[in-house]
Amino acid sequence: MPDVTLYDTRTRSLQPFQPRDPARVGIYACGPTVYARVHVGNARPFVVFSQLKRFLEHEGYGVTLVGNITDINDKIYTAAKAAGVPSGELAAAMAKAYREDTDRIGLGRPDAEPHATEFVPQIIDLIQRLLDADAAYVAEGDVYFRVRTVENYGELSRRDVDQMDQGEGVEGADLKQDPLDFALWKAWKEGEDTSWDAPWGKGRPGWHIECSAMAEALLGVEFDIHGGGVDLVFPHHENEAAQTLAARGAPLARIWMHNGMLELVGEKMSKSLGNIRGLHEVLDEVGGEVLVLYFSSGHYRQPLAFSDERLEDAKRSAERIRDAARRLVRGESAEALRPHRDAFFAALRNDFNTAEALASLYGWIRDANRSEEAVGDADLREMLEVLGLEGLLTAPEGAPEEAKELAVQRDQARRDKDWAEADRLRDELLTMGWIVRDGADGPELVPAS
Ligand SMILES: [Zn+2]
C-alpha cells in the first residue's frame, strides 16, 4: 500500500498512517447535537470524514466510519422547553432532519450512526468503572471526573491545566472537588422530562462520556482515527481521551484529526445577525455536488470562507467538470494524462490535501480538453469517485413538463412566503425524482441521483 500521512493533533505532527489492522480501520467522527436543524458548517466534518473513508478504501484499506448523533444534551432540553415539546420528540425530529439533509449531500451514510440514547447501559458501565478506579466521585447524585488523576491531561489541546475552564458555568460548581473536574452524570432535576436509572441515582449522562462509550462499543479502544471539528478539541476531545485512559489504561484513538471551521464573510451572513444558513437551504440553492466541491476546495485543516462568491466558484467548477465529462468516451485514459492523476492521489496521500488534488484534477481536464483524439474517462471517474463527485459524470436529462409546472408553482409559493406549500411542492417533486434548486437564474430541476 502507498504511504499515507495524516496530521495528528495530539503530537502536532504528520504521522505515517499505520492502522492496527489494514482490513479494519476504525474512524469515529463526532456528529451533531440534535436540538435544531444543522447549519452548513456542521456538514464539513460529515463531508471530510466520508471522503477520507472513500480515499482510504481506494488505497486498499477496509474502513468502518462511525458518525454519532448526540441526542442527550442540555441544549436539547433547553430548546424543547422553549418550544413546548417533549425533549425526546424534538431530538428524534431533528435527528431525522439531519439524516435527510445529509442524505442530500450524496456521499452516502456512515457505517454506524449511534445515538446516545441507545448506549446508556454502556455509558453507565464506563462511569462505574471510573468510580471503581477512584477517577470519579458522586456528589448529590451528580458524578464528576477527577481530572487531576490523569497525568497528561491537557496534552491534546496543549493548554495549561490551571487555565482551563470546562465551560459548565456555575452548574455543579459547589459540588466539584476541583473546579477543573467535569460532569459525567447529572442528577435528575424537577421539571426535566427525560432520565435514566443508574446505581448512583436517576439522571442523564454528560456529553463527553457519551462519545467515549459509543466509540469504544463500536470500534474498541485504540482505534485508528478520531475526528471532528477543531472547536471540539477542548473540552470535548480532551475529556473523551482522559476518561478512556483512566478507565481502560489505553488511549481512545491513535490519531486525532480536526477540520477547520467555516468562516462567514460579507455582510449578508453573520452569527450576530442570526442568519447562518441552514444546510438544507444551501442544498436547495446549489445541490450536493457543488457543496462537496466547495468543501473540497480548501484543505480540511484550514478555515474555509463561506460566501456566495465561493459557492459560485464551486458551481463554475462543477460545470467545467460536467462539460469535460460530456466529451469523454468510456475507457482507459491517455498515458499523457497520467501524471495529473498520479499527482491527484499523491496530494491526498499527503495529509488528505483535497485542494491540491483538485488542482491536479483541473490540470487533467485542461489537457484532456486540448487533446485532438477521443479521451477515455477512467482517470476522471477514479478521481471523482474518491471525492464522492461521480454524479458530475452524468449529464442530467431534461425534466418532464409536469415537474416544471410544479417548480413554477413552488417558486410562486415562496414569493408568497407560503413556506408550507413550498415545502409540500418540493417534497412532491422529490417523490417524482426531481430536486429543485434556487439558482441565480430562477429555479432549476436536477435529478435526485
Ligand atoms: Zn463526540
- pLDDT tens for each residue of 389-417: 999 987 555 677 788 888 888 988 988 88
Distance (Å) from CA 232 to ligand 1 centroid: 8
pLDDT tens for each residue of 104-131: 999 999 999 999 999 999 999 999 999 9
The chain-wide mean pLDDT, for the chain, equals 93
Assess contact for 238 and 153: CB atoms under 8 A: yes
The whole-number pLDDT of residue 274 equals 61
Chain segment 300-354, per-residue pLDDT in tens: 999 999 999 999 999 999 999 999 998 899 899 999 999 999 999 999 999 999 9
Collapsing DSSP to helix, strand or coil, 143 comes out as strand
Which residues are within 8 A (CB) of 433 and not within 5 positions of it... i.e. 6 or more apart?
Answer: 447, 448
Question: How far does the centroid of ligand 1 lie from the alpha carbon of residue 90, in Å?
Answer: 20
DSSP run (H or E) holding 320: helix 308-327
Superfamily of domain 5-259: HUPs (3.40.50.620)
From ligand 1's centre to the CA of 236, what distance in Å? 6
Q: Is 211 annotated as a binding residue?
A: yes
Q: Is 60 left (phi over 0), alpha (psi -120 to 50) or beta?
A: left
Model confidence pLDDT, tens digit, residues 189-199: 998 999 999 99
* HSE, side-chain direction, 13 A CA sphere, residue 152: 11
CATH superfamily, with its number, for domain 264-393: Isoleucyl-tRNA Synthetase; Domain 1 (1.10.730.10)
Q: Kindly give the distance from the C-alpha atom of residue 211 to the centroid of ligand 1, in angstroms, as a whole number.
A: 5
Ligand-binding annotation for 237, yes or no, is no
Question: Does 236 belong to an annotated binding site?
Answer: yes
pLDDT of residue 404: 83
pLDDT of residue 269: 45
Q: Is 390 annotated as a binding residue?
A: no
**CA–centroid distance, residue 178 to ligand 1 (Å):** 24
- Confidence band, pLDDT 50/70/90 cuts, at residue 275: low
Grid cell digits, residue 110: 456512515
- The rounded Å distance from CA 269 to ligand 1 centre is 27
Strands, E assignment, 261-364? 262-264, 304-306
CA of 31 to the centre of ligand 1 (A): 7
Q: 197 alpha carbon to ligand 1 midpoint, in Å? A: 23
30 Cα–ligand 1 center, Å: 4
Query: 34 C-alpha to center of ligand 1: Å?
Result: 13
* CA 404 to ligand 1 centroid distance, Å: 43
Å from CA of 342 to ligand 1 middle: 35
Ligand 1 centroid to residue 209 C-alpha, Å:
8
